[in-house]
Structure 1
Amino acid sequence: MDWQPEQIPQTPPETLEFQEPEALPPLELRPVREGSLDLELPDDANLPIALTDISAPSSQADVAEVQISLIEQIKQELQDVGDEDLKPARIQIGLLFIGVSALLLMSLLLYITAMHPGLTVKQQMLRYWSEYVGFVGLGVAGLMMLGREAMRSPDISEEGDR
């Protein structure tokens, strides 16, 4: 029996040729004015403003006037948004913070028990304290948002409501 290893011939590795990246044209920066905005909207787009009073513009100047009037209408509607209109959004964001915090804490606990079953509670807290504090902080922020909403005084429309 021959115990000598068989010699494998050494071949040099292939050199690969890479394609040169194509040259992109340089960017052109143009100043944007409110009247020069050209927004493409699909036919079934939901707009915040009813467009029934706008007729088809006949010239470029009319297009600019229509777009400026739209921008002014949008600004006016944003100024009309009151505190009472934003209350449901603030409550939903607070509940979202609390829910995401609870979900993240549960996933952290699941990860720790599945991947590191031999750790004691003290070792778990020492190793994952930053994640724990971050997730709890997110939940506390949500609770504070809800508490702030609960403590707001309702707008009193009549004197007899007190």
Structure 2
Amino acid sequence: MDFESKANASTPTDNIEFAQPTTTRKPLELLRDTEALLRRPTVAKLSPILPPKLSNRFQSTSSLADDSFKELAEIDLNTITDFELRPARILVGLSLVGFGALMILVLLLYLNTLHPKISTVVQIRQYWYQYIWFVCLGITGMFILGREAMRPMPKRRK
């Protein structure tokens, strides 16, 4: 008696090779081109219905975006060192810590002004999700800052 299902029997599959792109483009070039493909038709559709002064500013901002993305696309990501990214990582960590603390204060201000008669335990029970979210943002920022503090500094050449 054969208990093995015919549907589960393994059959050799054909190895299908996908077409490889002929030229490899840098990620920043892809970002520039994708953004331009979305922005240019939007500007073309909105410019006629906007007031003339606003339309001119809108179009000049679009051309400024073209120039900025052109400069951005010229950056070679492989030449950026880990040490050069350190200030950006520190700023992200500080931003997360600050935003988490600020939002906890805003939440407390909201609860104390709009719901002053509710006890703290009931407030935490009703708004626990927001508390946890903002505390997690702060903790994430602290982890980023702690990781940066523990990174070894590169040796300087004399």
Q: TM-score, normalised by structure 1?
A: 0.53
What are the superposed Cα offsets for residues 11-45 of structure 1, whole Å, 9 maximum, x if unpaired? xxxxxxxxxxxxxxxxxxxxxx87xx7x7984893
Which amino acid in 2 is paired with 1:100?
Answer: F
Count of residue pairs brought into register by the alignment: 100
Percent identical residues: 36
Aligned to 1:87: 86
Choose which of 45, 49, 58 in structure 1 pairs with 2:67: 45
The DSSP-based 3-state class of the residue aligned with 2:91 is: helix
In 2, the alpha carbon distance for the partners of 1:108 and 1:87 equals 32
Partner Cα separation in structure 1 for residue 63 and residue 107 of structure 2? 44
Q: Which residues of structure 1 form unaligned runs of 5+? A: 1-32, 50-70
Corresponding residue for 1:137? 136
C-alpha change, 1:153 and 1:117, in structure 2 (3 Å) is: same
CA deviation vs aligned residue, 1:86-130 (integer Å, no higher than 9, x gap): 001000000110111111101100110111111111111111111
Q: Which has the larger radius of gyration?
A: 1
CA distance in 2, matches of 1:110, 1:97: 20
Q: What amino acid is aligned across from residue 108 of structure 1 in structure 2?
A: L
Secondary structure of 2:146 counterpart: helix
Matches within 5 A, 1:81-160: 81-157=80-156
CA distance in 2, matches of 1:42, 1:117: 51
Q: Normalising by the residue count of structure 2, what TM-score does the alignment of the two structures yield?
A: 0.54
**Over aligned residue pairs, what C-alpha RMSD do you find?**
2.8
CA distance in 2, matches of 1:110, 1:151: 36
5+ unaligned residues in a row in structure 2: which ranges? 1-22, 26-32, 41-61
Counterpart secondary structure, 1:45: helix
Report the structure, 1 or 2, having the larger helix content: 2
Describe the superposition over 1:116-151 as per-residue Cα deviations: whole angstroms up to 9, x where unpaired.
111111111111111001100000000110010001
User: Distance in 1 between the 2:120 and 2:113 partners?
Assistant: 14
CA distance in structure 2 between the partners assigned to 1:95 and 1:135 by the alignment: 14
